[in-house]
Amino acid sequence: MTHFPKIGNNSENNLNYGLEIMGIEISDDELLAMEPRLLLELQQYLKDYRGKNGINIINNAQEHRLLDHSLAHPELTVLNEWKLADATFEEVELPSGKFLGTKITQNNVCYIARAWRMTSEVKSILQHAVQAGFDKFWRFGHPQDSYHEGNANFLRGSHHIGCSASHNTPWVFVLGAESLSRKQGKQTVKEITFNRVFKMHMDVALSPTGDPIPPVEGPLTPGSYKVQKGGGKCYTTHPDDFGKIIKYFSENMV
C-alpha cells in the first residue's frame, strides 16, 4: 500500500501504461489474486479520475506507442455475433484465419476474451448472470486497459470473461483460462471461478441446510467447491451448480 500513491500519480487514464512507466507490469492472474480492498481502491481511483478529467493524459512517447499499436491492428473478421443486455459478443479471427476469441463491446469499452467461443453453454451462463443482475462484462482496470481496443494487448486478448453488478464493483465470477476445456474438439466449461471476496456467500450457497460448508480437497463434483491453489485463493465451482450459486448471490448480496 505504500506504493499506491505512485500508481495514482502515474496511471492517469490508463493504469497499465502508468504501471509500465514505473517499471511494474501486473498480469491478469495477479489482478485476480489482488487483495479485494486494493483492487477496489485501484478501480475507484480510475473511475474518479476519468470522471474528473474525461481525457487521456499520458506522456508523448506513450501516446505514440498507443497510436502505433492501434494502426498495426488488422481488421478482424467477424464469424458470429450475439447480443445480451447492452453488450455485443463477436467471435473474431485475423485475416489469416487465426481464431482470436470473442470480442466483447459494452459501454464504449471493447476487448477480446482470448480463445473463447459463444457456445450455447457459455451463452446460458451469461444469460443466468444477467438475469441475476450481474450484467457488466468489464470493470475499471479489469481487464487491464492494455487489453482494450487500440492498445498494446488487444489482439492478444484477456484470458477471462468476468461479470459484476456494475463497472466499479468487484467481479463476482469469471470464465478464465482455467475454465476453458475441450472434449473431442469442442469447447466446454470445466469449472467457474468465484471471487474470494464473497466467502460469506460461497460457503452457504450450496449448503442444503443453510449452514456453512467447507471446501473439498479432492475431485470437484456438483454440490461442492474448492479453494484455488496459489495466490488467488478464489473459489472453483462445478458448472452444474452455477444457476443455484448465482441465484443465491443475487438474493443475498447487499
Q: What is the CA radius of gyration of the chain?
A: 19
**Mean pLDDT of all residues in the chain?**
82
pLDDT tens digits, 89-125: 999 999 999 999 999 999 999 999 999 999 999 999 9
Half-sphere CA count of 108, side-chain side, radius 13 A: 1
pLDDT of residue 49: 66
pLDDT of residue 30: 60
Half-sphere CA count of 157, side-chain side, radius 13 A: 21
pLDDT of residue 29: 56
**Cα–Cα distance measured from residue 151 to residue 107, given in angstroms and rounded to the nearest whole number:** 17
**Cα–Cα distance measured from residue 186 to residue 182, given in angstroms and rounded to the nearest whole number:** 5
Write down the domain spans for the chain. 4-70, 76-252
pLDDT tens digits, 120-159: 999 999 999 999 999 999 999 999 999 999 999 999 999 9
pLDDT of residue 76: 96
Sign (positive or negative) of CA dihedral 120, 104, 229, 165: negative
C-alpha cell at 234: 478464489
- Written as tens digits, the pLDDT of the chain (254 aa) is 333 333 333 333 344 444 443 334 555 556 655 665 666 677 677 667 666 665 443 343 343 344 344 445 679 999 999 999 999 999 999 999 999 999 999 999 999 999 999 999 999 999 999 999 999 999 999 999 999 999 999 999 999 999 999 999 999 999 999 999 998 889 999 999 999 999 989 999 999 999 999 999 989 999 999 999 876 789 999 999 999 999 999 999 85
Tell me the whole-structure pTM to 2 decimals.
0.72
Q: CB neighbours (10 Å) of residue 28?
A: 20
Residue type at 192 in one-letter notation: I
